[in-house]
Amino acid sequence: MSKFYITTPLYYVNDSPHIGHAYTEVAADVLARSERLLGKDVFFLTGTDEHGQKIAAASSSLNLSPKELADRTAARFQKLWEKLNISYDRFLRTTEASHEKLVREVFDKIHQKGDLYLGTYKGSYCISCESYVPSSQLKENLCPDCGRKASFLEEPAYFFRLSKYQEFLLSYIRENPDFIGPKFREKEVTNFIRGGLTDLSITRAGCQWGILIKENFSIYVWFDALLNYLSGINYLSDAKLFERYWPPDVQFIGKDIIRFHDVIWPAILFSLSLPLPGRIFAHGWWVIGGEKISKSKGTVVSPEEIISEFGADSLRYFLLREVPFGLDGEYSSPVFLKRYNSDLANDLGNLLHRSLSLLETSFEGKIPSSCGSSDEKLKEKSLSLPGIIKSIEALKYNEALIKIWEIVGAANKYLDEKSPWRLSQKEAGPVLYNVGETLRLVALFLKPFLPETSKKIAQRLGIAGEFEEQNFREVKWGLLPPGRRIKKGEPIFPRKK
């Protein structure tokens, strides 16, 4: 069985989760579920980034200890992921003892290799991005990435010889054209590397909220956090687990953290002589009025509120359908509502509801026999659904959903054209069978995207038990059992105003 190791960034615990965080998480969940349906041995890692000055500052403004704030926010992330049906295998918190131990061990390992030296960091630092800002990039003392005021630091520090890996990185990127995704990001990364890499301070003397090492240094939060991808599968403590999954097949990140992941992270792996991830893919931002959604700008949209009004699957659907993965998307409530009503309430919800209503009124609520149907078109279309697996693996989620909705549209059209309500029992039966079977296949391919909805459709069709076992490995027409009792119920996506 082939393995599939997938990761998300670890989210900072200074603030509660918003739809930007949900976006990365849902995207990773869809791929993880899809690879499981293909029979792969999947490990899906996510978690929270809990050290550093930014979190220390946020906690003191709330009169909490950093650990209290971390406990509170990590629980909020976990609760949200539960509501969104995120199927992670491990939720890692960087304050866990096993992670802290691993970070210290890696520090020693690269020290022994000769990749660390003691020096002094003198320059600017952005607490919000937790990044060292070269003076050439400062704009009136503001961080070029987030626009906030940078602080000046002068402190002793251990430096990682990042500069040593400049040529390795460039040749690795050249030889592995899939490593950086989307493709259009590659140039920005190689230009940055060619501009010259400077050694990186990986300790902070001025911040005590971190993994403490000798002489009262704490580990720089990004060095600590990046190593989660190793400690998440027990590097240096469980060779069996580690060897089973390493290296990551896909790592999802937002476009704001490309340099950390495409430059610093692979250099650490070079230093440890470990194989590099297959693909690091940076998606775009959800923005409001063109600006990245963020709590400090007061533009946070609460995923919990959307979920309680529309359901988890509606949010999952919207995030992946609305914008091609990799580009930015403008969020607004009217756009969300429009997408919900047109695609979920009208197209999918209505197809299910009217099919079930017809089965209830004309077929005693049972799946009719498929015999006598000469109509092959809908069957052929439905059997093209496995084609969406390619789109999912190419991370073209919206393309996959568009293709599924083409089948939904074709089934609605088929029902309109055949008008089974005007036909005899004998003629109407196969028409409704075809639509029911199309709905089963649509539900199957919605499993990764809309896990609750696909289950609901199967329950309504009376096939909840066997549907659980159906996967992407063997896709067949005709598995809906005639005679099975359906459950009409209320519309699964009621129209909203």
Residues in the annotated binding site for Zn(2+) = 126, 129, 143, 146
Nearest-approach distance from CB 24 to ligand ME8, in angstroms? 4
Residues that constitute the known binding site = 126, 129, 143, 146
DSSP three-state, residue 139: strand
Nearer to ligand ME8, 24 or 124 (CB): 24
DSSP three-state, residue 203: strand
If we measure between CA atoms, which residue out of 6, 2, 1 comes closest to residue 278?
Answer: 6
Contacts of 384 (CB under 8 A, 6+ apart): 403, 407
Radius of gyration of the chain (CA): 26
Q: What is the dihedral of CA 101, 104, 110, 114, to 10 degrees?
A: -150
Nearer to ligand ME8, 234 or 369 (CB): 234
Nearest-approach distance from CB 107 to ligand ME8, in angstroms? 16
**Which residue has tokens 């030296």?**
117
Nearest-approach distance from CB 329 to ligand ME8, in angstroms? 8
Nearest-approach distance from CB 65 to ligand ME8, in angstroms? 19
Nearest-approach distance from CB 37 to ligand ME8, in angstroms? 24
Nearer to ligand ME8, 5 or 286 (CB): 286
Residues lying near ligand ME8 in the complex (CB under 6 A) are found at: 9-12, 20-21, 23-24, 49, 225-226, 228, 253-254, 256-257, 285-286, 292-293
Nearer to ligand ME8, 253 or 344 (CB): 253
Distance CA 54, CA 58 (A): 6
Paired residues of 7 in beta bridges = 45, 251
Nearest-approach distance from CB 496 to ligand ME8, in angstroms? 24
Nearest-approach distance from CB 282 to ligand ME8, in angstroms? 8
Nearer to ligand ME8, 48 or 454 (CB): 48
The stretches of 12-65 forming alpha helices (DSSP H) are 19-37, 53-61
Nearer to ligand ME8, 235 or 414 (CB): 235
Nearest-approach distance from CB 375 to ligand ME8, in angstroms? 44
Distance CA 85, CA 313 (A): 9
Asked if 252 contacts 30 with a C-beta cutoff of 8 angstroms, the reply is: no
Distance CA 409, CA 353 (A): 14
Distance CA 352, CA 468 (A): 19
Nearest-approach distance from CB 392 to ligand ME8, in angstroms? 19
Nearer to ligand ME8, 196 or 298 (CB): 298
Asked if 397 contacts 491 with a C-beta cutoff of 8 angstroms, the reply is: no
Structure tokens at 62: 């709330």
Contacts of 255 (CB under 8 A, 6+ apart): 185, 282, 283, 284, 285
Nearer to ligand ME8, 10 or 385 (CB): 10
If we measure between CA atoms, which residue out of 292, 7, 311 comes closest to residue 129?
Answer: 292
Structure tokens at 149: 């005021």
DSSP three-state, residue 448: coil
Distance CA 326, CA 69 (A): 32
Q: What is the 3-state secondary structure (H, E, C) of 68-112?
A: HHHHHHHHHHHHHHHHCCCCCCEEEECCCHHHHHHHHHHHHHHHH
Nearer to ligand ME8, 27 or 411 (CB): 27
